Amino acid sequence: MTSLLASRAARRRSIVFIALLSTTLLMMAVSSNPMVHDLQSALNYALRPIQGAVAGVASGVSSVVTAVGEIDRLNSDNTTLRQENERLTTENEQAKEIQRQNDVLTGLLQLQNSFEYKTVAAEVISRESSEFRRVVTISKGSDDGIAAGDVVIGLDQISHAMGEGGVAATTIRNDLAKDQPILR
């Protein structure tokens, strides 16, 4: 034996190759025979229900795979839309707060413009409250024209400044006594 066919696996491969080649050549030789055409038609007719069943199963599997892909895509879209909705809700709440602050500041500006006196806007930098006294420290002092006894107007009250004025800040005390009510 030659070295090409020395092993058993090589001999088997050679035999299978020769058998397949012979079968192919034989089929090509008889394929133009009318009897072979009739046999092909009969087999085609007999296997048509099986072919339809296989096609139906394949269509069902395909639709299930498509549905799973669609569900995954919709889930992803839903997550994206939920995040967008949360972002828009936050922006809407911020816009409402900005509108509220704008309304308050507009009211204060209109109040300030109606005065014949000089006004100074200040921020509250600390608060202290007890049953008989309220103490507030504001961010303006004597450098800004604030002096003891000046009138203080807040969002919900008017009171007299009766406190110590500093250069950078003023402490306002409002003693809750009968002779000095807080106007509301």
How many CB atoms sit inside 10 A of residue 159's CB? 20
Cβ 176 vs Cβ 133: under 8 Å: yes
- What is d(CA 111, CA 115) in angstroms, rounded to the nearest whole number? 7
pLDDT tens digits for range 108-118: 778 767 767 77
What percent of the chain is modeled with pLDDT above 90? 34
pTM check: above 0.75: no
Please indicate whether residue 123 or residue 50 has the higher confidence score (pLDDT).
50
Residue 148 binned pLDDT confidence (cut-offs 50, 70, 90): confident
Q: What local confidence, expressed as pLDDT, does residue 106 receive?
A: 86
pLDDT tens digits for range 75-103: 999 999 999 999 999 999 999 999 999 99
pLDDT tens digits for range 31-78: 778 888 888 889 889 889 999 999 999 999 999 999 999 999 999 999
